[in-house]
Each structure stands twice: as C-alpha cells, then as structure tokens.
Amino acid sequence: MPVYAMAILCAAASMVCDAAGDSVKDGALRVGVSVAPQKYLVDRIGGEDVQVRVLIPVGVDPHSYEPGPEQLRILSDLVVYFRQGLEFEKSCLRRLRGINAGLRVVDLGPQSIQPFASTRDDFGPGDSSNDSSNDSGHEHAHGKGHLNPHTWLSPRIVREQSDAILGTLVELRPESRARFTRGHRELRAELDQVDAYIRRRLAPFKNQLLVVYHPSWEYFARDYGLRMIAVQADGHEPSARDLMRLVRLSRAAGVKAIFAEPGFNPRSVEVVARDLDARVETIDPLAPDWAQNLCDTADQIAEALAP
C-alpha cells in the first residue's frame, strides 16, 4: 500500500466506520447516492452530520439495476439525492418522488460538469471507419449520443462535484456549515494527494493503450494521458468483426493485459486475451474505498503497461 494512502485511510477511518452504522446517525441529514464511491465522497464532507444511503447494492451491475419496492421504501425519507446520470435513475427517481414528493435531486452526472465530460461520439470498436481514436485518445462505447456517467473515476471532476455537494449540504443544514466546510477542505486535500500519486505513477506511460471491457474508465484515462479502447460497444457485446479489429489494434500497441470488471461476462475479454496471449485483470469502478481503489488501479495499470 502506498505510504500516502495509509495516511489517508488512518485520517478517514473513524469517519467511514461511523458512516456504516445507523446508531450514530440519529438526526443526521438523510442523503441518497447511486453508487458506493459517491458515499465515500459525501461521507468525507458530511461526517456524522449525514447518513448516506446507496441505491445500488454492492456487486450489482448499475447498468441493468432496477430497485424493488423494499429498496425504494428504505430511501423514502431521503432529504436529497445526488444523481449520477446512470440509466436506471430516470424511472427510479420518478417512482421515488411518488412516495417522497419533497425529495431534492442534485445532478452530479456528466451533464453537470461540462466541459469536463466528453460530448463527442467517438469511434467505438464496432466502427471500422477509422482505426485510430479521436483527438481525445478514447474510444467511447457508452452509446451514441450518451455521456459517460462514470465521473467519480476522475479526481479532476470530483473536485468540481465536491463543491456542489458542499453547497447542497450547507443549504439544507446551515447549522452544520463548519463541519461540512472542514470536511470539504480535507476531501480536497485528499483529492490532490490521489491525483498527484496517480499522475506520478502513470506519467511514464503517456499515450499507451489501455484496453478495458466496459468504458467506465474513460475520464480516468483522459486525465492521465492514456488512450482507452473498450471491448463492449454501445452497451452490447462485440461482434466477431469488432473483436478482430480490437485484437489488431491491441497487438500493434503491444498490449499485455486486458482489464475486466466485476459483474460483467468475461467471455469476450477472454477471447481477445487468448488471441493476444495477454492476461485478464480486474479493476472495479464501484469499490467503496474511492481513494485507495483509484491508487491501486493506477498501480495495476502501471504494472501492466511497464516494458
């Protein structure tokens, strides 16, 4: 574990542990988020003055998730929900507002953080009209005309989102302004540490090709100078033609590892890896410990890209 990461964990440990237990949350501001990494960020700002509930259970694919009545009941007394821009949220929030008319929704998705979000329809693996990615260096496969919702994987974007979280919490609970402001300041310092660590770790690999199954890591790759190509195109499994093109691009780049994600069918990744004689590794965009996960992912990618 990186030395700086141990310091972060020690500084945040009591806060995160307390956040897991409702017993210390009596009277706390009830906040909803889509995914576990968002909980980490809101907890760091709000501490014991917030109770954060995660809509998507650990281990569930957010792209196919649909909450049931029991999950909505648990979320029915939320004061605010931080929306991430995932596919299920539109219908889910409509149902949630039906039982919680006063719910405030704050958008933290890609629409809210322009110009940080990519708005281009990049060439995905299924488009053979161009063998190179566009000038952003990414091959986007989240669907034509759709912005990538995985903004929490970019410390640069999270910096902006932390301001929106702080402003919302202070507005809803002005008596806790000092606590929220302190938490925000500490989180921003942590973001700077994480960003600096990842930047140092990946600096030697600028413009190298990162092959992933799902394009969750688009913003991460962009921020740290990597070219990214995703196996999955527009939310669908790749065709044989797609896989042939991906293998050709990966072989030309000397790719030695392909990165899968928990919960996704590994079959197409394994096919590509076998053709390349590459290994398959797993990186998790939904890991609850946001800071440690991003640093560990940077280490994993660096080791895979090293000569």
Report pLDDT digits (tens) over 267-299.
778 888 999 999 999 999 999 999 999 999 999
Asked if pLDDT for residue 135 goes beyond 50, the answer is: no
Calculate the average pLDDT of the chain: 81
Nearest to 213 by CA among 232, 240, 186, 233: 232
Percent of the chain past pLDDT 70, that is, above it, reads 78
Nearest Cα residue to 301 out of 225, 210, 228, 223: 210
**Structural domains of the chain sorted by starting position, each given as residue range(s) with its CATH number in brackets:** 3-119+143-198 (3.40.50.1980), 204-305 (3.40.50.1980)
- 107 in Cβ contact with 81 (< 8 Å): no
Lowest mean pLDDT among 41-45, 140-144, 207-211: 140-144
Q: What angle do CA 126, 129, 132 make, to 5 degrees?
A: 85
Q: Which pLDDT score is estimated for 70? A: 75
List the structure tokens of 3. 């030395």
What pLDDT, on the 0 to 100 scale, is given for residue 286?
93
Q: How buried is residue 209: exposed, middle or buried, by Cβ count under 10 Å (0-12/13-18/19+)?
A: buried
Each residue of 71-111: pLDDT tens digit?
777 788 999 999 998 877 877 888 888 888 889 999 998 87
